[in-house]
Structure 1
Amino acid sequence: MTISTHSALLTRIVDDLAEQGWSLQPWFAPQTLTLELAEECRKRAAQGELTPASIGRGTGQEIREGVRGDRIQWLDAGLAPACDQYLALMDGLRQALNRELYLGLEEYECHFALYPPGAFYQKHLDRFRDDDRRAVSAVFYLNPDWQPEQGGALRLYLADATTRDVPPEAGSLLVFLSADMPHEVLPATRERLSLTGWFRRRGDNPL
């Protein structure tokens, strides 16, 4: 089954990025797909396929749970039908961003991210100092019935020196400019699931 994203939704995301550098859409994907992706993430975690995430890149990668405590698995085409449907949705968004904002995005990469209770990710930027290919970050949340007191928000540090806390509610998509938006993941009292990824362009310094 092919799932498409409504053009009005894509337009809202494009307009938000152009005006403020970030966009939050409460229902980016159908509820059935969201639940299937959550189940897929939990299944793979139970099978031991999610591994501790590292910080840095290349030979400088290291696992530091005092900085970042999630476990991840990268998505490839053919991993599961629900994953393929999600990747198709994101490719539609990539095309809209290129068409309207001329970003030259060539690909989308993403992974399942599972934060155990108490895990967090300290304040950071998604673009590496020596690699400018990540242009737009996108986080899709997979947590039904999330309650505010459970924590787990993604805190955005905005250009006007204020912050915005985004709860990880199932079905919502947060998109922001990778180079311009420091952010952190706050600890939660329950397991926190998401699909976290980046739209990438051809870099000036591909290493």
Structure 2
Amino acid sequence: MSENPSLEQLSSIVDDLAEQGWSLQPAFISQTLTLELAQECRKRAAQGALVPASIGRGQGLAVQEGIRGDRIQWLEPGQSQACDQYLAKLESLRQAINQGLYLGLEDYESHFALYPPGAFYKKHLDRFRDDDRRAVSVVLYLNQEWETGQGGELRLHLPGGGVRDIAPQAGVLAVFLSADMPHEVLPAQRERLSLTGWFRRRGDSVL
């Protein structure tokens, strides 16, 4: 598979966001890059670089494992070839969303997330009450041979009261509007890896 997202993939994501507020792409990147990103995540975990994730922001930032139990490390350009390839793909997606939906997305932030067995993240929105910059949420899953019954689904709470559960299978990309889509991560029976990130626009308030 090409390492560049196809125009068809990009158009599908843009159309889905416009029509329903979320999109699911089962093979957004190649198996090779997916494996390399999973290996990078596990390497960082073994080095102790992943730390317990916090909730809130600023002075309200706190670790609360009763709400979320993942361990994370933020991506920065130049850290690894695999990460840089992934960030380049997300730049293509940012441009496509801006061209199709005029959201004014300016940048992208992302981190590795490792959920130990039994960890979860309770229902929440990705946009902070006092910071509206996060506009589009993006999750790429890195788990090979994820089986039915192992849990760990991303549960989207859809407008109208329905839900959609997305299994964290390697190569699957989930994209949704940050302010409009409450979601949660269900407990899993095995280690669960992902890359989680947000396209951000310029904030309305001056801090």
Q: Partners in 1 of 2:143 and 2:15 — Cα distance? A: 27
Describe how 1:25-44 pairs up with structure 2 within 5 A: 25-44=25-44
Q: Which runs of 4+ in 1 moved over 3 A?
A: none
Is this contact kept in 2: 1:53–1:72, CA < 8 A?
yes
CA RMSD of aligned residues (A): 0.9
Post-superposition offset of 1:4: 1.3
1:90-134 alpha-carbon deviations (Å, 9 max, x no partner): 000000000111010000000000000000000000000000000
Change (3 A) 1:181 1:59: same
Match of 2:156 in 1: 156
Structure 1 runs not aligned, ≥5 long: none
Q: Partners in 2 of 1:155 and 1:202 — Cα distance? A: 28
Describe how 1:1-207 pairs up with structure 2 within 5 A: 3-207=3-207
Structure 2 runs not aligned, ≥5 long: none
Aligned to 1:150, the other structure's residue is in SS state: coil
Aligned to 2:39, the other structure's residue is in SS state: helix
One-letter amino acid of the structure 2 residue matched with residue 40 of structure 1 = E
Aligned to 1:109, the other structure's residue is in SS state: strand
1:120-158 alpha-carbon deviations (Å, 9 max, x no partner): 000000000000000000000000100111000010000
The count of aligned residue pairs is 206
Aligned to 1:119, the other structure's residue is in SS state: coil
Q: Partners in 2 of 1:149 and 1:100 — Cα distance? A: 37
Post-superposition offset of 1:206: 4.6
One-letter amino acid of the structure 2 residue matched with residue 30 of structure 1 = S
Is this contact kept in 2: 1:131–1:206, CA < 8 A?
no
One-letter amino acid of the structure 1 residue matched with residue 92 of structure 2 = G
One-letter amino acid of the structure 1 residue matched with residue 67 of structure 2 = V
Q: Partners in 1 of 2:205 and 2:181 — Cα distance? A: 21
1:59-111 alpha-carbon deviations (Å, 9 max, x no partner): 11000000000000000000100000000000000000001110100000000
Aligned to 2:19, the other structure's residue is in SS state: helix
1:154-184 alpha-carbon deviations (Å, 9 max, x no partner): 1000001000000000000000000000000
Post-superposition offset of 1:3: 2.9
Identity within the alignment, %: 71
Q: Partners in 2 of 1:76 and 1:3 — Cα distance? A: 20
One-letter amino acid of the structure 1 residue matched with residue 144 of structure 2 = P
Q: Partners in 1 of 2:175 and 2:160 — Cα distance? A: 18
One-letter amino acid of the structure 2 residue matched with residue 199 of structure 1 = F
Q: Partners in 2 of 1:191 and 1:67 — Cα distance? A: 18
Structure 1 length normalisation: TM-score?
0.98
